[in-house]
Amino acid sequence: MEVMKSSSHKPAKGANEENERYRILIENTKDIVYLLDAEGVFKYIGPQVAQYGFDPEEVISQNFLDFIHPKDREKMFLQFQKTMIKGSEFISQFRIKNKRGGVYWIEEYGKVQRDKSGGIVGINGVLRDITERKRVDEKLRRAHKELEIKVKERTAELLTANEALLVEITERKHAEGALKESYQKLQRALEGTVYALALTVEKRDPYTAGHQQRVTNLACAIATEMGLSEEKINGIRMVGFIHDLGKIYVPAEILSKPGQLTEMEFVIIRTHAKVGYDILKKVEFPWPVAQVIVQHHERIDGSGYPFGLSGENILLEAKIIGVADVIEAIASHRPYRPALGLDKALEEVSQKRGTLYDPEVVDACLRLFTVKGFNLEC
């Protein structure tokens, strides 16, 4: 560098001061300033090179490639040639190796030096230690690589878990389908059994044939009018078909007796609610079938039988079956009397609304016949 060269003539005082400022600046910076000739030989190297174990005096007059790490030597030689040919500036990174075998990463910024005629006579530049930065970069690279591996592993685990979940979902759907089919078969079997029981009752009491079917139809219509759930309506349908199941224990001559029943005969007939309960109480229905059967003759004022239950102690389903039973019984023919007609039946529940019969149930029943044209014979 011009500021470092001696001169045969005595420099001006201003020039000496400027050179001194450059020297102080170069020697106190952390970066290493260097100057190479056209052959790549050091003509100057900053004193900071001593931190790598080199005496600046021994570096001078040696080729720069002697200090480059063998793995980077060819790359830096080609970089030097390219710079000398094209006269371009460059930035490069390479490793150096000191006398004790220590390896350091260096970042170099250099440009060609020209003589007064413009010819390229060498390269000057700055060397900066980036070893720590490279170490940090390497740690980040390893961490990123490890993270990628973990992400791939986790992704593979999730894919495996997802496949297993899909298999489980498929198997569960098949199981649900089989369970649903099994439930439907059981439901059909249960309905068939209920119908068979209903038919058994009607075979013993031919005068009330169709009674249970009509009660069922009306009770379900009342429940629908009241906005009850489909599940409750299904339960009411099952109970309706067999609400008089206990009559199979009542002697046939009493059931078909054409004249007025005696007090004792009434007592016997009234046992049918409790008998029906006793028959079905251990059967596990999806609905409270046995409880509704035993309560369908209870009345909200406590005057009913067999237990004299009142108000909220009577199941809603039993209140509905009870109203439907009364309507059908009054409106239809019985062995001991002719049919009294639908008007008489509606008058009965209307007059005793809130006394014997639940008001909401009665209101729904009356709407069916007076507003919606419900036909008891359907």
The CATH code of the domain that includes 251 is 1.10.3210.10
Helix axes 211-225, 316-331, angle to 10 degrees: 130
d(CA 17, CA 11): 10
Show Cβ contacts of residue 350 under 8 Å, excluding neighbours closer than 6 positions: 362, 366
Question: Same structural domain for residues 79 and 148?
Answer: no
Cα(319)–Cα(219) distance, rounded to whole angstroms?
A: 10
313-351 in b/e form (b: 16+ CB < 10 A) is ebbbbbbbbbbbbbbbbbbbeeeeeeebebeebbebbee
Note whether 139 and 150 are same-domain residues. yes
Q: How far apart are CA 164 and CA 168, in angstroms?
A: 6
3-state secondary structure of 36: strand
Paired with 110 in beta bridges are: 90, 125
Domain edge (last residue) among 154, 178, 204: 204
Residues 170 and 258 in one domain: no
Query: Do 211 and 199 fall within a single domain?
Result: no
How far is the CA of 246 from the CAs of 28, 204, 336, 340, in angstroms?
Answer: 115, 11, 20, 25
Task: Examine the fold and report which residue of 204, 222, 256 is the final residue of a domain before the chain moves on.
Answer: 204
Range of the domain at 319: 205-370
Q: Is residue 28 part of a domain?
A: yes
- Tens digit of each residue's pLDDT, the chain (378 residues): 443 443 344 555 555 665 565 566 666 678 899 999 999 999 999 999 888 888 889 899 999 999 999 999 999 999 999 999 988 889 999 999 887 888 999 999 999 999 889 899 999 999 999 999 989 988 989 988 998 998 899 988 888 888 888 888 888 888 888 777 766 666 676 666 677 676 777 766 666 668 888 999 999 999 999 999 999 999 999 999 889 888 888 887 887 777 788 889 888 889 999 999 998 888 888 899 999 999 999 999 999 999 999 999 999 999 999 999 999 989 987 777 778 899 999 999 999 999 999 999 999 999 999 999 998 875
Which pTM value belongs to this model?
Answer: 0.55
Amino acid at 339: A
Answer yes or no: is 378 within a domain: no
* Tens digit of each residue's pLDDT (9 = 90 or more) over 46-86: 999 888 888 889 899 999 999 999 999 999 999 999 999 98
CB–CB of 128/106 below 8 Å?
Answer: yes
Does residue 362 lie in a domain region? yes
pLDDT of residue 11: 52
205 within 8 A of 247, measured Cβ to Cβ: yes
SS3 of 247-261: HHHCCHHHHCCCCCC
